[in-house]
Structure 1
Amino acid sequence: MKSVVRLTASATRPLPRAALLAICVVYAAFGLFWRDPWKNEDATGFGVMWTLASGHLHDWLFPNLFGKPMPADGPLSYWLGAGAIRLLPFIAPGSAARVVTALLFSLSCGFVWYGTYLLGRRGEVQPFKYAFGGEPLPGDFGRTIADGALLILLACFGLAERGHETTPQLAQFLCVSMILYGMARAVDKPVQGAIFWGAGLGLLTLAASPLLPTVMGACLLGVALLSPHFRGRTLLALGLPVALVIAASWPLVATFYDGDASQRFLRAWIHGNFDFYAGPLNNVLFYALKNLPLFTWPAWPLALWSWWSWKGMRRAPHVLAPMAIMVPLLVLVVLQSHQTNKLFMLLLPGMAMLAAFGLPTLKRGAINAIDWFAVLSFTVLGGFVWLVWTAAVTGHPAAIARNLARQIPGFEPSFRLIALATALVVTLCWMAIVRWRLATRPEVLWRGVVLSSAGTTLMWVLLMTLWMPFINYSRTYRDVAAQIAEHLPSDYRCITPVRLGDAQIASFGYFQSMRFGFHGEDCDVLLRQDDEDYWAPADVRPYQWKRVWEGRRAADRDERFRLYVRVLEPAAKRVR
């Protein structure tokens, strides 16, 4: 079939390896240190890791949050984070766990880059060959496409925060990237590709739930068996057994260790995830339609364009492999039973790979539009970050300073020279990249996405330097945990949590070593979260509940905590 790409060798000049590596390292490293576990999934994931790191074999086989079973996801990410906490005792536990986050993210980027490179050097995607030469070599074209895939991945808006949290989604992200690489590798080296494919599926089972790898594996196997490119028989004969052995390892060991506990935990692990995909609700679909395009920008419009522009070759590996990954994930997104963006991140490896093959077919006007959007949006947003920081530190502009004080009451801004110097360096680098792009007007393929990835990196670094104190203050439970601990009896048995989220339990247990009771334990302290005023808990004679503290995080107006201690009723009241 006639090629849809017309390029000269000059368009595939490689992006300097030092520049690409610098963007990846800066993006992955910032936001890992000098902060607390943040509310919601970040604190919850870290809480389970901390429980395992300070626990015993039973905790490692049956992950829990200070005694509360956590069967929603497999144990792989918790094992890795807990192992890092034990192996790196010289740094803060939260930072140690996030070292694993950086490693998982970096490995994922490597799989995406190399998988795209393998598909990009294949003959069917090569540019049109001119009569007198001048077209790029297959290796140069593949490397340029791979650079574009990695830059598109880093440019995705939703990846910034999700890619720096201590959640199971990072391990799942790596597994999906490994599966995608295995599909690409199976085209030219079936045995090696099948091993990576099977290992990715097996590890995905240990990192997520049985349903996700089952649906994805069935779709991929179907595509591989129907397509002559992926050697489906090798995947079935070698890759599937590898996946089954890895996936079965933890359940078998857990069952051998404690059959009763294993039966309860594994049943919850399996059935709980089927309940999670019980079917769509209108508000869930609306949430996905509203948030998924922003989360995956700019990958999704480029991927859509790529699918359209390669319409004559949609059965080729460079289109079929990422589509076989994305389609089952999109189906699961639609079938979710409540609003969440947990699966959005898993779409990005396939989406970035497919989007990269759309770069050679983009018109110059579209590339310029992407560039100008990146220049204007990230320059304005970066200037806003600097303006708010200036108002917080100096008090001017006064209107912004007053509004900031209302939004984060009780926060005391401080000047940090290292943060300022880092922010200045990254801002100057952004200006240099913009100047280079506008002054030289390069013809290389990756010119259309380098500004987007650099802009996303700029924003993330600015937020994690200039705004880190604001964000950390507004998203940590450290101060509330200290206030609660001051009012706890020194000899209390345990705390019954009422309407507390997992992130709150994790934060209170980590910051102040609070002991929680679950499964109907007879606790003498009750900690309750109320969004509005409720009646006091019912007394059980001869005891009554006495409220000893009430408060909330200064930056959160919705949460309100009430602490009750069980005391003996007065004698006169008991006589009556």
Structure 2
Amino acid sequence: MKPVRLPAAATQALPRAALFALCLLYIVPGLIGRDPWKTDDAAGFGIMWTMAHGSLEDWLFPHIVGLPMAEKGPLAYWIGAVCIKLFGWLLGDALAARLAPAGFFLLGSIAVWYTTYLLGRRPEAQPLRLAFGGQPEPSDYGRTLADGALLIFLGCLGLLLHSHSTSTEALQVSLVAFCLYAATTLFERCSLRAAALLGLSMGLLVLSRGWVVPLALWLGLLSLASFRERTIVLRLVAITFPVAIAVASPWLIASSIVRPFDSTPYDAWMLWNYGQLGWPSYETLRNFFKNGIWFAWPAWPFAGWAVYAWRRQYQAPHITIPLTFFIACALLALFHTRSEEGVLLPMLPPLAILAAFGLPTMKRGAINAVDWFSVMTLTTCAGFIWIGWIAKQTGWPAQIAKNAFKLAPGFKPEFNLLAFLVAVFASIGWVLLVRWRVARRPSVLWRAVVLSSGGVILCWLLLMTLWLPWINYGKSYASVAHQLAERLPQGKYCINTNVGPAQRASFVYFGEVPFSQRHDADCRYLLLQDSKRGRDNIKTVQYGGSKWRLLWEGRRPSDKDERFRLFERLN
């Protein structure tokens, strides 16, 4: 027997304008008004910037002004570079590059919505017919479930930072969602077009972040299809797999023919892919279970309940298809060689879709518990953000202000009226949303997750308005890049360096530092990155068989360990 019994009143869909506004409130803050941040965000922007201002070789072999970065794949960087070339003159290169993750987020959100809608319309997913009628229509039921899935997807804490970053992870999670949509279409219609669409999406996934994830998804779907219909197996083998190879291979073939920089990215790319697989270790297991709890909140409780509630319909596609994707991605995370947050991202789209089918079966008490947990936790977080902003602006409370300025020495707060008004209106909107949920007690399915999603969006919006200058000050290399640029002479010269990808990209973009694009270049200057825990009284060093004299030393004010030193060759 199906576990769902619903009246039509419970399937009232969210207004399209409200859903669109939530998506805008989610993605726009964090894209506007900030510098490329330390780690993958600045590194990804550096690759995009290098491509946009380079030649064909730069597009075939991703790198950051000579530092090879071909491991993950070029697709996300190609799209970002196109955005820079099209809109950089109008928006600036940094903001233009962030149009790419905005597009990735839009693709992933649409894919999650339509996948859930297709699965929710299927006969297996429909609620029981009521004795006197009044049950929802399949299209209304599917649309309501799709709204719930999108709200859960927006509320996933692990997606928040990565979806605003110029990195490959943002595109990967969206393409996994699109693969889910294509797979759902294939299992529903078993058409050649659906099989080709799945192959296209998997080929693009290969170009975005390697072949490991798409291969695992393809094997999972092959296993699922073998229990259902032989025709789907033939489609997967004869159409999907060849199309994926045809989409992914031109980059590797072209780079092997052209041989950019007298080399090819193939070896580094393959080694990086092989490095994604290994035996489970304590670190990977710890990362999966410890970080996965908050990373996939609030999706995993609803998804787990959905699998349990629909256990008697274990062959229903609305459970088996997203569950297959989740299992494949979860196994990859467990068998990963390193404990990284990014390996958990592909699990989020299937979890959000599974969670949507748990909404109709949740008891009122469980829904209220999740709601009150969300209200208490996220309201507390929002209140702390407001108090922290007040402390930085006024110096009260004194201890919070002291801690904030201790983390960012030299930071000078400025009052931004527009950011303040946006934060005020967002906070008022949160109060009204909570009041509507508590006072009206709506029966619609998505009521269980609207507070979780709204609270996450509120906290992110407050951070990206009230705290953005402070966060930018701590995570950007702009200030130290400008300091370095002021100490460099005029004229043509090159600089050898050992700095990492994020630092290299930031120094080139903000300071126009002329790094050497050849590791064996005979440059007059040397920029070294080390730890401040080392010796402080060094005036000369031996490096690469030459002696160098110290010209400048600097660091980001918020980083007590990282240090940069500029040297000039003596012999």
Tell me the TM-score normalised to structure 1 length: 0.94
- Unpaired runs of 5+ in structure 1? 569-576
Instruction: Give 1:212's aligned amino acid.
Output: V
Q: What is the DSSP-based 3-state SS (H/G/I as helix, E as strand, rest coil) of the residue aligned with 1:526?
A: strand
Match of 1:562?
A: 565
**Alignment partner of 1:173 is 2:173:** yes
| Structural RMSD (CA) | 1.8
Instruction: Give 2:368's aligned amino acid.
Output: N
Q: What is the DSSP-based 3-state SS (H/G/I as helix, E as strand, rest coil) of the residue aligned with 2:523?
A: coil
> 1:100-155 CA distances to partner (integer Å, 9 max, x unpaired)?
11111011100110011000011111111122111111111111111111000001
**Following the alignment from structure 1 to structure 2, what is the Cα–Cα distance between the partners of residues 108 and 291?**
22
Shift in CA distance, 95/317, structure 1 to aligned 2, threshold 3 Å: same
Shift in CA distance, 376/540, structure 1 to aligned 2, threshold 3 Å: closer
Range with greater deviation from structure 2 (370-379 or 516-525): 516-525
> 1:433-470 CA distances to partner (integer Å, 9 max, x unpaired)?
10100000011110000011111110111011011101
Instruction: Give 2:469's aligned amino acid.
Output: P
* Residue 494 (structure 1) shift: 2.3
**Following the alignment from structure 2 to structure 1, what is the Cα–Cα distance between the partners of residues 104 and 202?**
16
Range with greater deviation from structure 2 (357-366 or 251-260): 251-260
Match of 1:45?
A: 44
**Following the alignment from structure 2 to structure 1, what is the Cα–Cα distance between the partners of residues 287 and 74?**
28
Shift in CA distance, 427/252, structure 1 to aligned 2, threshold 3 Å: same
* Residue 540 (structure 1) shift: 6.9
1:362-441 counterparts in 2 under 5 A?
362-441=362-441
Instruction: Give 1:439's aligned amino acid.
Output: A
Shift in CA distance, 432/123, structure 1 to aligned 2, threshold 3 Å: same
* Residue 539 (structure 1) shift: 5.8
**Following the alignment from structure 1 to structure 2, what is the Cα–Cα distance between the partners of residues 230 and 293?**
38
**Following the alignment from structure 2 to structure 1, what is the Cα–Cα distance between the partners of residues 57 and 354?**
43
Q: What is the DSSP-based 3-state SS (H/G/I as helix, E as strand, rest coil) of the residue aligned with 1:537?
A: strand
Quick check: 2:112–2:353 contact (8 Å CA) kept in 1?
yes
Instruction: Give 1:244's aligned amino acid.
Output: I
**Following the alignment from structure 1 to structure 2, what is the Cα–Cα distance between the partners of residues 213 and 20?**
30
**Alignment partner of 1:544 is 2:547:** yes
Match of 2:6?
A: 7
**Following the alignment from structure 1 to structure 2, what is the Cα–Cα distance between the partners of residues 261 and 203?**
26
Match of 1:128?
A: 128
1:8-47 counterparts in 2 under 5 A?
8-47=7-46
Q: What is the DSSP-based 3-state SS (H/G/I as helix, E as strand, rest coil) of the residue aligned with 2:127?
A: coil
Instruction: Give 1:241's aligned amino acid.
Output: P
Instruction: Give 2:67's aligned amino acid.
Output: K
Quick check: 2:46–2:506 contact (8 Å CA) kept in 1?
yes
Match of 2:222?
A: 221
**Following the alignment from structure 2 to structure 1, what is the Cα–Cα distance between the partners of residues 190 and 166?**
34
**Following the alignment from structure 1 to structure 2, what is the Cα–Cα distance between the partners of residues 547 and 216?**
53
Quick check: 1:409–1:554 contact (8 Å CA) kept in 2?
yes
Instruction: Give 1:44's aligned amino acid.
Output: A
Q: What is the DSSP-based 3-state SS (H/G/I as helix, E as strand, rest coil) of the residue aligned with 2:275?
A: helix
Quick check: 2:202–2:214 contact (8 Å CA) kept in 1?
yes
**Following the alignment from structure 2 to structure 1, what is the Cα–Cα distance between the partners of residues 58 and 284?**
34
Quick check: 2:42–2:505 contact (8 Å CA) kept in 1?
yes
Quick check: 2:67–2:501 contact (8 Å CA) kept in 1?
no
Range with greater deviation from structure 2 (410-419 or 239-248): 239-248
Match of 1:108?
A: 108
Instruction: Give 1:556's aligned amino acid.
Output: D
Match of 1:571?
A: none
Quick check: 1:410–1:554 contact (8 Å CA) kept in 2?
yes
Match of 2:318?
A: 318
* Residue 550 (structure 1) shift: 1.6
Range with greater deviation from structure 2 (389-398 or 143-152): 389-398
* Residue 90 (structure 1) shift: 0.8
**Following the alignment from structure 1 to structure 2, what is the Cα–Cα distance between the partners of residues 155 and 421?**
24
Match of 1:74?
A: 73
Quick check: 1:112–1:349 contact (8 Å CA) kept in 2?
yes
1:513-528 counterparts in 2 under 5 A?
513-517=512-516, 518-528=518-528
Q: What is the DSSP-based 3-state SS (H/G/I as helix, E as strand, rest coil) of the residue aligned with 1:96?
A: helix
Quick check: 1:181–1:193 contact (8 Å CA) kept in 2?
no
**Following the alignment from structure 1 to structure 2, what is the Cα–Cα distance between the partners of residues 424 and 222?**
52
1:147-546 counterparts in 2 under 5 A?
147-191=147-191, 192-228=193-229, 231-258=232-259, 261=262, 264-491=264-491, 493-498=493-498, 500-517=499-516, 518-531=518-531, 532-534=533-535, 537-538=541-542, 544-546=547-549
Q: What is the DSSP-based 3-state SS (H/G/I as helix, E as strand, rest coil) of the residue aligned with 1:36?
A: coil
Aligned residues: 564
Instruction: Give 2:564's aligned amino acid.
Output: F
Tell me the TM-score normalised to structure 2 length: 0.95
> 1:510-536 CA distances to partner (integer Å, 9 max, x unpaired)?
111222234332232222222221576
Range with greater deviation from structure 2 (173-182 or 50-59): 173-182
* Residue 242 (structure 1) shift: 1.9
**Following the alignment from structure 2 to structure 1, what is the Cα–Cα distance between the partners of residues 555 and 280?**
34
**Following the alignment from structure 1 to structure 2, what is the Cα–Cα distance between the partners of residues 181 and 533?**
53
Runs of 4+ that moved beyond 6 A = none
* Residue 227 (structure 1) shift: 2.2
Shift in CA distance, 77/551, structure 1 to aligned 2, threshold 3 Å: same
**Following the alignment from structure 2 to structure 1, what is the Cα–Cα distance between the partners of residues 369 and 211?**
43
> 1:188-219 CA distances to partner (integer Å, 9 max, x unpaired)?
32224223211110100111112232222222
> 1:250-304 CA distances to partner (integer Å, 9 max, x unpaired)?
1122223238946x31011012221233444423332332212111111111111
Quick check: 1:155–1:298 contact (8 Å CA) kept in 2?
yes
Range with greater deviation from structure 2 (543-552 or 436-445): 543-552
Q: What is the DSSP-based 3-state SS (H/G/I as helix, E as strand, rest coil) of the residue aligned with 1:514?
A: coil
Q: What is the DSSP-based 3-state SS (H/G/I as helix, E as strand, rest coil) of the residue aligned with 1:172?
A: helix
Range with greater deviation from structure 2 (440-449 or 550-559): 550-559
Shift in CA distance, 336/124, structure 1 to aligned 2, threshold 3 Å: same
Shift in CA distance, 124/540, structure 1 to aligned 2, threshold 3 Å: closer
**Following the alignment from structure 1 to structure 2, what is the Cα–Cα distance between the partners of residues 261 and 73?**
20
> 1:366-411 CA distances to partner (integer Å, 9 max, x unpaired)?
0000110111111111111111111111222222222211111100
* Residue 246 (structure 1) shift: 0.6
* Residue 316 (structure 1) shift: 1.5
Shift in CA distance, 66/291, structure 1 to aligned 2, threshold 3 Å: same
Range with greater deviation from structure 2 (520-529 or 429-438): 520-529
**Following the alignment from structure 1 to structure 2, what is the Cα–Cα distance between the partners of residues 261 and 545?**
31
Quick check: 1:178–1:196 contact (8 Å CA) kept in 2?
no
Q: What is the DSSP-based 3-state SS (H/G/I as helix, E as strand, rest coil) of the residue aligned with 1:130?
A: coil
Instruction: Give 1:228's aligned amino acid.
Output: E
Range with greater deviation from structure 2 (127-136 or 442-451): 127-136
Q: Identity over the aligned pairs, expressed in percent?
A: 44
* Residue 346 (structure 1) shift: 1.5
Quick check: 2:485–2:512 contact (8 Å CA) kept in 1?
no
Quick check: 1:371–1:449 contact (8 Å CA) kept in 2?
yes
Quick check: 1:551–1:561 contact (8 Å CA) kept in 2?
yes
Range with greater deviation from structure 2 (121-130 or 40-49): 121-130
**Following the alignment from structure 1 to structure 2, what is the Cα–Cα distance between the partners of residues 203 and 14?**
32
**Following the alignment from structure 2 to structure 1, what is the Cα–Cα distance between the partners of residues 66 and 227?**
47
Quick check: 1:492–1:525 contact (8 Å CA) kept in 2?
no
**Following the alignment from structure 1 to structure 2, what is the Cα–Cα distance between the partners of residues 103 and 329?**
23
**Following the alignment from structure 2 to structure 1, what is the Cα–Cα distance between the partners of residues 199 and 357?**
26
Match of 1:574?
A: none
Quick check: 2:419–2:465 contact (8 Å CA) kept in 1?
yes
